[in-house]
Amino acid sequence: MSSCAGDSTYRQRAGKYAFLNVPGTLAQGATTAEYANEQGHKTAWIVTSNDIGYTQTMSEAFEDRFKELGGEVLGTTVSGLGETNYRAVATKVVNEKPDVIYTTMILPGLVSMMRDLERAGNKSPLIVNDAADADATFQGGPQLDNTTMVSLGTYTGDGAVSEQFIASYEKLFGSPPPDDSAISGGDAVYEIAAALKAAGTDDPQAVYEALNNLEEVPTVSGLTTYKGNDGEPVKPFTIYSFDREGKKKEEIESRYAKEIPPLRQ
């Protein structure tokens, strides 16, 4: 079980015993597109990278689902993950005036991009991914005021374990979980525990079969299902806004992808 990999091609490359611990890039891209559509955005500009499958497949899923919902992608900028100068990109995007900018770029390049968008006078809202769930993102400046993030949150519904997990984490480390990586780690604990309980043994093959067939197990981020999903958990994403002055994120809503596009061949 990967601690932080998100690429939906993970099991294809790592073998049948490999499990993601997040819903995967196809689900994340689709969820973001559906949210953008519901906000009334009809046009989008994508800034992404083909350096790794995580950024590439997420942006492809966003584009495919956004178009499926009637949206138009005005253009896509493909950049290297090490890029720190987005001035030309920012000028181009601002001139095109998309309803929304969607980026799968990660830190520290994401901060550079936000700063250059601000210099270029960008007024379009920006949607970022879970790689932005870090304190460094608050260095992005005023663009954060119009930015939302799709990440993992905490679940408070039936059978919720979030309060227990957060209390245990704070007792051990002296502060609440700082970002979604801690939430993901908590999810893994509950998923593996549920698989061990269902298997009734710690035999690896039996645990694999049990994990592969888990359904609606309460985890920190939500009810998690692995059954029938080829090593990717079905669990919700949380949409956040940023409180730049308070340097904290604020939950808007939690949601599952309604429809996930297939992986591009």
Query: Range of 148's domain?
Result: 25-153+236-255
pLDDT at 5: 83
Instruction: Supply the pLDDT for residue 101.
Output: 98
Judgement on whether residues 120 and 203 belong to the same structural domain of the protein: no
Residues 123 and 53 in one domain: yes
What pLDDT shows up at residue 178?
87
Average confidence (pLDDT) per 10 residues, the chain, 265 residues: 87 93 95 98 98 95 98 97 94 97 96 98 97 94 97 92 95 92 93 98 97 96 95 95 95 95 91
Cα 149 to Cα 230: distance, rounded to the nearest angstrom = 26
- Counted domains in the chain: 2
* Domain annotation covers residue 77: yes
One domain, residues 60 and 190 = no
Ramachandran quadrant class, 189 (left: phi over 0; alpha: psi -120 to 50; beta: rest): alpha
Residue 3 lies in a domain: no
| CATH number of 42's domain | 3.40.50.2300
Pairwise CA distance, residues 194 & 211, whole Å: 8
Task: Compute how many other C-beta atoms are within 10 angstroms of the C-beta atom of residue 15.
Answer: 9
Residues 147 and 184 in one domain: no
Q: Which amino acid is at 124?
A: S
Distance from chain centroid for Cα 77:
20
The per-residue pLDDT for 265 is 80
Quick count: other Cβ atoms within 10 Å of Cβ 141? Answer: 14
pLDDT at 236: 95
pLDDT for position 16: 93
Bond preceding residue 108 cis, omega within 30 of 0? yes
> Is 122 within a domain?
yes
Per residue, the 3-state secondary structure of 151-163, as one string, reads ECCCCCCCCCCHH
11 part of a folded domain: no
| 15 located within any domain | no
